[in-house]
Amino acid sequence: MIAKDMAQMKSLAIKLFEINAFKFGDFKMKVGINSPVYFDLRVIVSFPEVMQTVSDLLVSYIKEQQLTAKHVCGVPYTALPLATLVSVQQNTPMLVRRKEAKNYGTKKIIEGIFNAGDTCLIVEDVVTSGSSILDTVNDLTREGIVVTDAVVVVDREQGGAANIAKHSVRMHSLFTLSFLLNTLLEAGKIERDTVDAVAKYIAACQINSDGTFANDKPQVVNDFVRTRMPYESRANLAKCELAKQLFLLMSTKKTNLCLAADLTKCEEILDVAEKCGPYICVLKTHIDIVEDFSQDLIRQLQNLAKKHNFLIMEDRKFADIANTVSHQYRDGIYRISEWADLVTAHSLSGRSILVGLKAGVTTADSKNRGVFLLGEMSAPGNLIDDKYKETTSKIATEGSFVDFVAGVVCQSKECFSFPGLIQLTPGVKIDETSDKLGQQYNTPEHVIKDKGGDIGVVGRGILQAKCIETAAALYRDRLWAAYIDRVAK
Ligand code: S5P
């Protein structure tokens, strides 16, 4: 690769990571063993400048490797737009392989004009075993087309190149997984631990083209299962600055307790913040229930947050269209975006909620603000279903707001898997299972160990205790011990 392209390759690698075209976590794979790294190059169609760079690099790589062929053909579907760009830039006619033959009209499986004996270069986005490339090669070969080479954006280095070589097709990759990992490491985007964990998985999980493992079924433990990872390692994977900060705060202060200061008088809120401050990582407010609100409350709360080292979360549960939400966040008597490090929001209006919140924060503050999306609720009979949860997790982990979403408010570890997000779980009480209005409670141990909560939210469990400091210390101790136990296993 020529030097100029190398610099471009490195900055593309970082860009792909930033737009979540690949990410680290715990991902279900076709082969049956969860992978710590996942590529989703489908997202690049939403970033035309990235499409342009990828296709420019592919074209110059094809030229450099002298991969001359009469046609190009993309492996459906993700590589189709890439193959189109390559075809247009090089003025090489394209062939389109259908995944299924039409059952009417021409019933063709290969679209485009060709003759038997023509050569064709395959374009693919990501290669694991190479089986998708081989499917396309088979269909082309059946039509008499000659395929000798495939150019791919990313080789996961799990045996794909060797598998397709057995069918006399050479694989040429723009990026290898190792190159991507080293580039991110060099740029300070990931830690050595991440590189090692992925390398361990890749070494153990070499795959044959039929999808079976090259070795006997490998027993790799994915180091990126979020509930087994310590907070400080998860800080390295977080894309949102506030999530990073909160993970590190929890880890150094040794607390994963969030106090829900659901009180109606400024004096009461400041009193619990002063008394419980040393034991908590987050103080959560419902500012609209405060009867004597003034900005002085905010100033004093911020001083206490500094003194005791905790973050402030306004549990506003925004849920409107973007324009309204931006006003609710920035304006009115509360001016939430000026002081709340974190806010909660329903994902009901989709990504619009994040568009609205982003618009409600000044650019100077934007790096210091984060959102927790509601993925599940502790209220009985709530209307959230599996589809809603899945989409919420997607909004939190995909697209251009990944740097803004710090976590998810939910009740189960299945709600999301990305270790860089924080699970906030309310409904924690030691001695009760519900309140008179249906709130459902669980013990600190159940919330942290079984439900996957990273932070337990306690309101009345502390606020109604005879001595709130003692109660806060007790909840802190039990939530923290449960976390230590969880990561030790
Ligand atoms: O599903 C939820 C989400 C939230 S944020 N269930 C909840 O209870 N909450 C909040 O957590 C609720 O608004 C309250 O502030 C706190 C629980 O308070 P507690 O007194 O029942 O512990």
What pTM was computed for the model?
0.82
In this predicted structure, the answer to whether residue 101 has a pLDDT above a threshold of 70 is no
434 — pLDDT class (breaks 50, 70, 90): confident
Residue 153 in this model has a pLDDT that exceeds 60? yes
- Residue 63 sits in the same domain as residue 181: yes
pLDDT: which is higher, 297 or 365: 297
- C-alpha closest to that of 305 among 343, 276, 325: 276
Mapping DSSP to helix (H, G, I), strand (E, B) and coil, where does residue 137 land?
Answer: helix
Do residue 50 and residue 130 come from a single domain? yes
Residue whose CB lies within 8 A of the most ligand 1 atoms, among 257, 259, 262, for a mutation test = 262
**Smallest CA separation from ligand 1 atom 18, residue:** 459
Residues 240, 212 within the same domain = no
Domain that holds residue 363: 231-488
What torsion, rounded to 10 degrees, do the Cα atoms 103, 106, 112, 118 define? 100
Surface-to-core class of residue 129, CB atoms within 10 Å of its CB (0-12 exposed, 13-18 middle, 19+ buried): buried
What Rg, from alpha-carbon coordinates, does the chain have?
Answer: 26
Please tell me the distance between residue 378's alpha carbon and the centre of ligand 1 in angstroms: 7
To the query of whether residue 239 is one of the catalytic residues in this protein, the response is: no
End-to-end Cα distance, the chain: 45
Ligand 1 center–CA 289 separation, angstroms:
14
Here the CATH number for the domain that contains residue 88 is 3.40.50.2020
Distance 426 CA to ligand 1 centre (A): 5
If 0-12 CB within 10 Å is exposed, 13-18 middle and 19+ buried, where does residue 49 land?
Answer: exposed
Q: 22-27 and 35-39 as β-strands: parallel, antiparallel, unpaired?
A: antiparallel
Best residue among 282, 457, 463 to mutate for probing ligand 1's pocket (most ligand atoms within 8 Å of CB) is 457
Among 178, 196, 224, the domain boundary falls at 224
Q: What percent of the chain has pLDDT over 90?
A: 79
427 Cα: distance to centroid of ligand 1 (angstroms): 6
User: 441 and 343: one domain?
Assistant: yes
Whose CA is closest to atom 6 on ligand 1?
Answer: 378
CATH number of the domain bearing residue 303: 3.20.20.70
What pLDDT is stored for residue 63 in this prediction? 95
Neighbours of 424 (CB within 10 A): 27
Q: How many CB atoms lie within 10 A of CB 301?
A: 23
Q: How far is the CA of 440 from the centre of ligand 1 (A)?
A: 10
Q: How confident is the model at residue 102 (pLDDT cuts 50, 70, 90)?
A: low
Determine the pLDDT at residue 120.
Answer: 98
Q: Which atom of ligand 1 is nearest to the CA of 428?
A: 22
Is residue 217 located within the same domain as residue 235?
A: no
Ligand 1 atom showing the smallest separation from residue 439 Cα = 21
Question: Which one of 180, 203, 224 terminates a domain?
Answer: 224
pLDDT band at 131 (very low <50, low <70, confident <90, very high): very high
Question: Which one from 317, 389, 451, 489 is the annotated catalytic residue?
Answer: 317
Residue 257: band (very low, low, confident or very high) from pLDDT cuts 50, 70, 90: very high
Q: Work out which ligand 1 atom sits closest to the CA atom of 424.
A: 5
Q: Are residues 101 and 243 in the same domain?
A: no
Side chain identity at residue 372, one-letter code? F
Tokens 């000659």 belong to residue: 146
Which of 224, 256, 274 marks a domain boundary?
Answer: 224
How far, in Å, is the centroid of ligand 1 from the Cα of 3?
56
The closest alpha carbon to 368, from 345, 341, 344, 343, belongs to 341
Is residue 166 located within the same domain as residue 237? no
Residue 411 CA: nearest ligand 1 atom is 1
Do the beta carbons of residue 283 and residue 259 sit within 8 Å?
Answer: yes
Residues 320-376 have pLDDT tens digits of: 999 999 999 999 999 999 999 999 999 999 999 999 999 999 877 888 999 999 999
Residues 75 and 203 in one domain: yes
337 closest CA partner among 314, 308, 319, 321: 314
DSSP per residue over 4-32, as a string?
HHHHHHHHHHHHHHHTTSEEEEEE--TTS
Residue closest via CA to ligand 1's atom 13 equals: 315
Chain centroid to CA 184: how far?
Answer: 16
Same domain for 213 and 315: no
Together in a domain, 146 and 253? no
Helix ranges (H only) for 280-361 are: 295-308, 322-330, 352-359
Cα 148 to Cα 393: distance, rounded to the nearest angstrom: 41
62 lies in the same domain as 157:
yes
Contact 489, 449 (CB under 8 A): no
Give the three-class secondary structure for 346.
Answer: strand
Question: Can you tell me the mean pLDDT for 9-22?
Answer: 94
Q: Do residues 27 and 38 make contact, with C-beta atoms less than 8 angstroms apart?
A: yes
**Residues whose beta carbon lies within 6 Å of some atom of ligand 1:** 260, 262, 286, 315, 344, 377-378, 409, 426-427, 439, 457-461
Sign, CA torsion 341/271/436/429: positive
Residue to substitute in 388, 422, 439 for testing ligand 1 pocket (most ligand atoms within 8 angstroms of CB)? 439
The structural domain count of the chain equals 2
Asked if 410 and 450 sit in the same domain, the reply is yes
**Cα–ligand 1 centroid distance for 111 (angstroms):** 57
Instruction: List Cβ neighbours of 181 (8 Å cut-off, separation of 6 or more).
Output: 190, 194, 195, 198, 199
User: What is the per-residue pLDDT for 121?
Assistant: 98
